[in-house]
């Protein structure tokens, strides 16, 4: 049963027949049965499994020429997930190389770098090795992300690293790729070297101060034993670790292009050089100075072509000593354009907000770009007009509302829309031309008055409705004098909640000195409407099957920990103190002969061992205080209503009783 009532009603009575609507008592052959009606059974199972993955293995030739397969100590973890300065999944951002060709009797440093979303926690490192003499084992006392290796004789060694993050938020283990170390007594020169990097664009934004990139040198031939050193062509922009190839941006905000060079040094003194160009710059680049009538263009750098993020482009303008932040565009486009720049765009801030969902757990992270301030110069062709609208619930000015959004609006509320149009033009030659203000209004509102600079307008002249009932206010011949303000106030009363949410988007249309039609949009206002009602649905109670035995307590049939009995949706704005009660209206009577009474009563258990017998008087089962919304009711399996059969001396047949839920409150 669904019932709605408004704030003025004091008592809600939920009347339902126990057992005749939801279930029946069958008294026959010394037992009775409760047949389920409208009952649902939901089966669910937890299926455990593991991800499909390819077996990782390496084929090698032993001394006898037989081919063997070498597996890593543990399956390597997937790479970390990075996106524009955001880290979503831990992993090794710098892996050991798959193969090293090293000269015997020399020491080499095998280096790794890992990353994790929670960088403030120190990780624990381990290394494992394997060779022809023994299987995989942990290397004692090697607890750094790097390891120094050497061998006195030619042989092949296998290495793998692990990192453990153990803290409040995570208990992750990650494993590197397996590295194969070929120690040889031969000297093999590098004829050439090429360089690759895992990022071509590095950010100077202060929020990305920990951003790194990695350069790799690829020797030709690949089994060359030459030693490689890395070098930056411009250390003012970025430096590079000479051994590891890790690239770090300097925090001096210098921007430009540079080369990462790899020098391969052969044992005979010859060298080979390779290089790769990268760029250092801001996440957001674009127009800082624009002439009137031109375009201002902005671009996000370093965003991959297969962009999986949402990009929100913002402009921030200033009027009335207030910053107005407006979302101009939202989507996947990494480019934003302000066409036909005018004087009103002067001193506008532009920035982008990048929002990306974590593909591993669905959580959302966001990052903001740097801000670019636009300066505008040149001769004006049309006036510069700043617009601003606010909204206020005069009847109930809530603390959770703002001057751009009002929540929980109910019928009877009085609403005030305030609009300002301010001329900020430099030249008087382009101002003072008439325009038209158009303001769509939600059908929930009945317009009470419209004023311009304190002067009342006739509603019949400004209020219009179309065939679908949509209404709007149109004010013609609106003139904004040079450097002056036009104030418009619209008062209305809420008559319904047919539309649950509405966005107010007024605009001002005018013609400039070259007869070009232009539009000035206002900031967006929003209203959320509420019915101010309480919706309650009484749910069936099923007592299953039980023997007809005296002094017997009958439990509800549900074996769930909790049993829902009332579905409640409380949309009241300011709920009064509310009391929920229950009472028995009728005894258990035979459905065919009401003179026959079954000796069954209701017992309400407040706890497992404490109960009261429910009769004709209302028994309180719950209450709320003022301004506290009412929640749905569910009983623990040991609590709530149960049946008690006093004795089995009554006729067979079907019996029914009626319960009454009572909800009372004081305004």
192-281 classified as CATH 1.10.3720.10: no
284-377 classified as CATH 3.90.550.10: no
Neighbours of 572 (CB within 10 A): 21
DSSP string, 346-374: TTEEEEEEEEEE-TTT--EEEEE---EEE
- At the top level of CATH, which class does the domain 58-184 belong to? mainly beta
Residue with tokens 């399996």: 637
267 pLDDT more than 80: yes
State the number of CA atoms in the 13 A half-sphere of 220 facing the CB: 8
Q: State how far the alpha carbon of 143 is from the alpha carbons of 76, 164, 569, in Å.
A: 19, 11, 57
Judge contact between 432 and 490, C-beta under 8 A.
Answer: no
Peptide bond into 221 cis (omega under 30): yes
State the pLDDT confidence band at 210, using cuts at 50, 70 and 90.
Answer: low
For residue 399, the model assigns a pLDDT of 58
DSSP run (H or E) holding 460: helix 459-462
Of residues 2 and 224, more confidently modeled? 224
Residue with tokens 């070009």: 516
Strands 67-70 and 633-636, sheet pairing: unpaired
Closest by CA to 158, choosing from 137, 143, 173, is 137
Cβ neighbours for 517, distance < 8 A, ≥ 6 positions apart: 509, 510, 511
For residue 139, the model assigns a pLDDT of 92
Strand ranges in 67-154 using DSSP code E only, listed in sequence order: 67-70, 81-83, 86-89, 91-94, 99-103, 108-111, 113-115, 124-130, 137-138, 146-149
State the pLDDT confidence band at 560, using cuts at 50, 70 and 90.
Answer: confident
For residue 169, the model assigns a pLDDT of 53
Q: What is the pLDDT of residues 158-169, one digit of tens each?
A: 999 999 886 555
Judge contact between 144 and 163, C-beta under 8 A.
Answer: no
Of residues 192 and 545, more confidently modeled? 192
Mean pLDDT of 336-359: 89
Judge contact between 639 and 561, C-beta under 8 A.
Answer: no
For residue 666, the model assigns a pLDDT of 66
Mean pLDDT of 251-267: 91
Mean pLDDT of 64-71: 64
Record the pTM.
0.52
45 pLDDT more than 80: no
Question: Do the first three CATH levels of 2-39+540-666 and 192-281 match, i.e. the same topology?
Answer: yes
Judge contact between 286 and 300, C-beta under 8 A.
Answer: no
Q: What is the pLDDT of residues 317-329, one digit of tens each?
A: 887 667 888 899 9
Q: What is the pLDDT of residues 296-316, one digit of tens each?
A: 999 999 887 767 788 999 999
Distance CA 300, CA 411 (A): 46
- At the top level of CATH, which class does the domain 385-529 belong to? mainly beta
Closest by CA to 449, choosing from 491, 495, 420, 505, is 491
DSSP run (H or E) holding 459: helix 459-462
Domain chopping of the chain, boundaries: 2-39+540-666, 58-184, 192-281, 284-377, 385-529
Least confident of 117-126, 248-257, 635-644: 117-126
Of residues 255 and 380, more confidently modeled? 255
Mean pLDDT of 200-212: 79
For residue 64, the model assigns a pLDDT of 45
2-39+540-666 classified as CATH 2.40.160: no
Question: Could you give the angle at the alpha carbon of 108 between the alpha carbons of 102 and 111, nearest 5°?
Answer: 115
Q: What is the pLDDT of residues 530-559, one digit of tens each?
A: 888 888 888 888 877 777 788 888 888 887
Tokens in use for 432?
Answer: 């003072």
Judge contact between 193 and 274, C-beta under 8 A.
Answer: yes
Q: What is the pLDDT of residues 605-660, one digit of tens each?
A: 988 889 999 988 999 988 999 888 889 999 888 898 889 999 888 888 787 888 88
67 pLDDT more than 70: no
Judge contact between 633 and 565, C-beta under 8 A.
Answer: yes
Q: State how far the alpha carbon of 577 is from the alpha carbons of 4, 348, 619, 626, 630, in Å.
A: 18, 51, 17, 4, 10
Distance CA 389, CA 28 (A): 74
41 pLDDT more than 50: no
Share of the chain above pLDDT 90, in %: 41
For residue 18, the model assigns a pLDDT of 41
Q: What is the pLDDT of residues 599-613, one digit of tens each?
A: 999 999 988 889 999
363 pLDDT more than 90: no
For residue 276, the model assigns a pLDDT of 95
Mean pLDDT of the chain, nearest integer: 82
Distance CA 174, CA 124 (A): 11
Least confident of 109-118, 293-302, 449-458, 618-627: 109-118
SS3 442: coil
Contacts of the segment 465-473: beta carbons below 8 A, 24+ positions apart: 469/443, 470/440, 470/443, 471/440, 471/441, 471/443, 471/445, 471/447, 472/438, 472/439, 472/440, 472/441, 473/437, 473/438, 473/439, 473/441, 473/447
């Amino acid at each position: 049963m669904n019932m709605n009532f408004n704030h003025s009603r004091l008592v809600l009575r939920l009347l339902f027949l126990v057992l005749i609507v939801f279930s029946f008592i069958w008294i026959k052959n010394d037992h009775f049965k409760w047949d389920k009606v409208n009952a649902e059974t939901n089966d669910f199972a937890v299926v455990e499994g593991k991800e499909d993955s390819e077996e990782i293995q390496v084929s090698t030739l032993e001394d006898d020429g037989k081919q063997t397969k070498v597996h890593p100590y543990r399956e390597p973890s997937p790479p970390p997930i990075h996106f524009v300065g955001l880290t979503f999944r831990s992993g090794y951002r710098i892996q050991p190389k798959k193969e090293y060709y090293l000269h015997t009797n020399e020491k080499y440093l095998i280096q790794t770098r890992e990353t994790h979303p929670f960088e403030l926690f120190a990780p624990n490192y381990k290394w494992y090795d394997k060779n022809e003499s023994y299987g995989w084992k942990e290397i004692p006392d090697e607890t750094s992300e790097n390891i120094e290796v050497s061998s006195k004789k030619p042989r092949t060694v296998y290495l793998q690293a692990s990192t453990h993050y153990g803290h409040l938020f995570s208990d992750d283990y990650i494993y590197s790729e397996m590295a194969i170390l070929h120690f040889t007594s031969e000297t093999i020169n590098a004829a050439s070297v090429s360089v690759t990097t895992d990022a071509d664009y590095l950010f100077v934004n202060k929020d990305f101060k920990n951003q790194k990139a990695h350069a790799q040198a690829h020797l030709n031939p690949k089994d060359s034993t030459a030693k490689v050193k890395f070098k930056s062509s411009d250390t003012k922009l970025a430096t590079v670790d000479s051994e590891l190839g890790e690239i770090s941006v300097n925090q001096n905000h210098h921007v430009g292009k540079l080369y990462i060079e790899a020098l391969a040094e052969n044992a005979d003194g010859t060298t080979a050089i390779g290089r790769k160009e990268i760029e250092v710059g801001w996440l957001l680049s674009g127009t800082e100075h624009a002439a009137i009538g031109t375009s201002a263009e902005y671009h996000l750098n370093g965003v991959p072509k297969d962009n999986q993020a949402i990009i929100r482009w913002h402009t921030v303008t200033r009027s009335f000593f207030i910053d107005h932040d407006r979302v101009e565009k939202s989507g996947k486009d990494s480019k934003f354009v302000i066409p036909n720049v005018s004087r009103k765009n002067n001193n506008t801030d532009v920035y982008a907000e990048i929002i990306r969902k974590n593909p591993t757990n669905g959580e959302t992270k966001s990052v903001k770009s740097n801000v670019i301030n636009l300066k505008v110069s040149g001769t004006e062709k049309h006036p510069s007009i700043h617009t601003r609208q606010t909204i206020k619930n005069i009847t109930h000015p809530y603390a959770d509302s703002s001057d751009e959004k009002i929540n929980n609006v109910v019928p009877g509320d009085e609403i005030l829309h305030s609009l300002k149009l301010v001329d900020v033009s430099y030249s008087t030659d382009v101002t003072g031309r008439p325009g038209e203000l158009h303001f769509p209004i939600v059908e929930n509102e009945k317009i009470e008055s419209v004023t311009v600079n304190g002067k009342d307008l006739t509603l019949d002249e400004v209020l219009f409705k179309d065939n679908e009932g949509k209404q709007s206010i149109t004010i013609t011949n609106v003139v904004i004098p040079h450097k002056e303000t036009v104030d418009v106030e619209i008062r209305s009363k809420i008559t319904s909640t047919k539309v649950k949410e509405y966005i107010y988007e007024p605009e001002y249309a005018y013609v400039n000195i070259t007869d070009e039609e232009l539009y000035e949009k206002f900031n967006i206002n929003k209203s959320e409407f509420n019915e101010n009602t309480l919706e309650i649905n009484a749910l069936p109670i099923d007592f299953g099957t039980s023997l007809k035995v005296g002094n017997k307590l009958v439990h509800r049939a549900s074996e769930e920990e909790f049993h829902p009995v009332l579905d409640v949706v409380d949309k009241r704005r300011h709920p009064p103190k509310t009391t929920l009660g229950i009472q028995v209206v009728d005894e258990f009577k035979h459905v065919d002969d009401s003179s026959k009474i079954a000796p069954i009563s209701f017992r309400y258990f407040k706890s497992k061992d404490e109960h009261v017998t429910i009769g004709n008087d209302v028994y309180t089962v719950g209450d709320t205080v003022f301004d506290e919304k009412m929640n749905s009711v569910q009983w623990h399996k040991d609590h709530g209503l149960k049946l008690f059969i006093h004795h089995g001396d009554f006729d067979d047949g079907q019996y029914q009783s009626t319960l009454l839920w009572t909800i009372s409150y004081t305004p």
